[in-house]
Amino acid sequence: MTRRLKVALVGYGRMGKEVEQILLERGHEVVLRFDPAPEIHGARALTPSMLDGVDGVIEFSLAQGIIDNAAVYAKTHTAAVVGTTGWETERAAVRQLIEQAGSAYMYGSNYSVGANLFFRLAAQAARLIEQVDDYDIMVHEFHHKLKVDSPSGTALTTAACILDNLTRKTVLQTEKLDRPIRPEELHVSSTRGGSIPGIHSVIIDSTADTIEITHNARSRRGFAHGSVLALEWLIGKKGFLDVNVFMDELLGKGK
Ligand SMILES: NC(=O)c1ccc[n+]([C@@H]2O[C@H](COP(=O)([O-])OP(=O)(O)OC[C@H]3O[C@@H](n4cnc5c(N)ncnc54)[C@H](O)[C@@H]3O)[C@@H](O)[C@H]2O)c1
């Protein structure tokens, strides 16, 4: 049984509200809802004093504030589980802040346990076609019309699972192609529209047949649930950690 945590929500949009529900269901307390939107918290920036007495943060915000928020977590040594996507270029700077401070920060492009099963299936699929050249592999994702980054962080993680396990694919290709794809390229394509919380497919195709592995998130609840489990796990640990470290413990290495 995990102890009752005092949690700050940083970013109180669709995901922040979903995380709040799960925190309350699991007996935790939400002590801060920080969001610069005028109708929510209104303050322009998160400050160290806002995190007084907080055990941990769950952040689902937008990429622009990621470094400033991380600097506050580092300064206050507050454990943070971060689900915000689209900040690949800031990753090294955030890592440095956290490692210098010796605090705990976890990033994951997808906190859903089901999606993490999907990542492991993608990696295994890539390993299985390593010796079978007739099978090609690609990734496609769909998201709702309000999503600001493309391809999704989940699609990029799926692609990394494939690239790490299939020697004939070495280049990530996320652009529209006006030419035949090169054999070493792994194509990751995106469609935006409607209210889709996230559909990701790995498609394996040969002259004889097609195999599809699809993760279809029915709601945001699965992401929120995984992020709360991750925070419960992270309290008391140190370092800049990928959600994989936690999921490997939860799911095993998939071997
Ligand atoms: N990792 C995952 O499992 C996962 C799952 C779903 C969504 N996401 C990502 O989470 C993020 C949020 O998604 P959402 O659907 O809740 O979006 P949203 O637009 O509904 O909410 C984002 C909120 O962040 C607020 N915000 C903006 N700048 C901020 C800052 N500097 N500090 C704190 N809050 C700030 C906005 O005002 C807004 O209310 C996106 O990057 C999305 O891609 C990740």
3-state SS of the chain?
Answer: CCCCCEEEEECCCHHHHHHHHHHHHCCCEEEEEECCCCCCCCCCCCCHHHHCCCCEEEECCCHHHHHHHHHHHHHHCCEEEECCCCCHHHHHHHHHHHHHHCCEEEECCCCCHHHHHHHHHHHHHHHHCCCCCCCEEEEEEEECCCCCCCCCHHHHHHHHHHHCCCCCCCEEECCCCCCCCCCCEEEEEEEECCCCCCEEEEEEECCCCEEEEEEECCCCHHHHHHHHHHHHHHCCCCEEEEHHHHHHHHHCCCC
Higher pLDDT, 255 or 131: 131
**Which residues does a 6 A CB cutoff place in the pocket of ligand 1?**
10-16, 34-37, 60-62, 64-65, 69, 83-86, 108-111, 220, 223
| Count of beta carbons in the 10 Å neighbourhood of residue 32 | 19
253 in Cβ contact with 124 (< 8 Å)? no
What is the model's pLDDT at position 109?
A: 86
List the one residue out of 184, 115, 126, 98 whose CA is nearest residue 152. Answer: 115
Tokens of 65: 């504030």
Residue to probe by mutation, ligand 1, list 19, 20, 60, most atoms within 8 Å of CB: 60
Catalytic residue among 41, 77, 144, 147: 147
**Mean of the per-residue pLDDT values of the chain:** 96
Q: Let me know if 238 is a catalytic residue.
A: no
Task: Answer whether 157's CB lies under 8 Å from 119's CB.
Answer: yes
- Give residue 252's pLDDT: 80
Is 77 annotated in the active site?
Answer: no
Burial class (CB in 10 A: 0-12, 13-18, 19+), 228: buried
Which residue minimizes the CA distance to atom 28 of ligand 1? 62
pLDDT at 60 over 70: yes
Report pLDDT digits (tens) over 197-230.
999 999 999 999 999 999 999 989 999 999 999 9
- Of ligand 1's listed atoms, the one at least distance from the Cα of 45 is 31
- Mutate which of 57, 61, 64, 144 for ligand 1 pocket (most atoms within 8 A of beta carbon): 61
| pLDDT value, residue 97 | 98
| Catalytic, out of 143, 169, 187, 215 | 143
Task: Report d(CA 164, CA 186) in Å as an integer.
Answer: 12
First and final C-alpha spacing in the chain? 28
Confidence bin at 1 (pLDDT 50/70/90): low
Ligand 1, residue 149: give the atom nearest the CA: 43
Q: Which amino acid, one-letter code, is at 106? A: M
Q: Whose CA is nearest to atom 19 of ligand 1?
A: 13
Give the model confidence (pLDDT) of 137-193 as tens digits: 999 999 999 999 999 999 999 999 999 999 999 999 999 999 999 999 999 999 999
Say what percent of the chain tops pLDDT 90: 96
Is 11 within 8 Å of 79 (Cβ atoms)? no
Tokens at 228, concatenated: 């709360």
Structure tokens at 165: 């396990």
According to the model, what pLDDT value does residue 205 have? 98
> According to the model, what pLDDT value does residue 18 have?
97
| pLDDT at 255 (0 to 100) | 42
Q: Model pTM? A: 0.87
Residue found by looking up tokens 């592999």 in the block: 137
